[in-house]
Amino acid sequence: MDSIADMFVRMMNAIRSREETVDLPHSKIKEQIARILQAEGYISKFDVLTRMNKGYLRLWLKYTEKKKSVIEKLKRVSTSGRRVYVGCRSLPKIRQGYGTAIISTPKGMMTDSDAREKKTGGEVIGYVW
């Protein structure tokens, strides 16, 4: 099973039911994605916790004053059966720059704008807007 797609689905389900937090099984890649989402302002914070000797992530979702989620959509691009790689010159712009593409590069996990600055390409993990 695709753990990143599972993360995105759990987050969207929590957003649809107006949950304040969402718990996910922990992995390093999910933690890096959560760090990017927090830096870009899509979630308010995250913690790595343990329960019964198992690690998990708790994400605090962010909503506007009118109870509308900051995250409109999460889309998984590269899957286990179909990897999507892009070069530094063909990095995607999501929603004319209002969204974020999460890219896994040799220099680590970063957003599309950071990858453009560092002139590096990589695997497109997903889109957030």
Over residues 42-66, mean pLDDT: 95
pLDDT confidence of residue 74: 96
pLDDT in tens, 67-108: 999 999 999 999 989 999 999 999 999 988 899 999 999 999
pLDDT confidence of residue 49: 95
Q: Output the average pLDDT for the chain.
A: 95
Domain total in the chain: 1
The separation between CA 17 and the C-alpha centre of its own chain, rounded to angstroms, equals: 19
CB 43 within 8 A of CB 54: no
**CATH number where 112 lies:** 3.30.1370.30
Over residues 16-40, mean pLDDT: 97
The pLDDT confidence band at residue 1, using thresholds 50, 70 and 90, is confident
Residue 48 has pLDDT above 90, yes or no: yes
H or E, element range at 117 = helix 112-117
Pairing of strands 85-86, 74-76: unpaired
pLDDT confidence of residue 8: 98
Structural domain boundaries, residue 120: 3-128
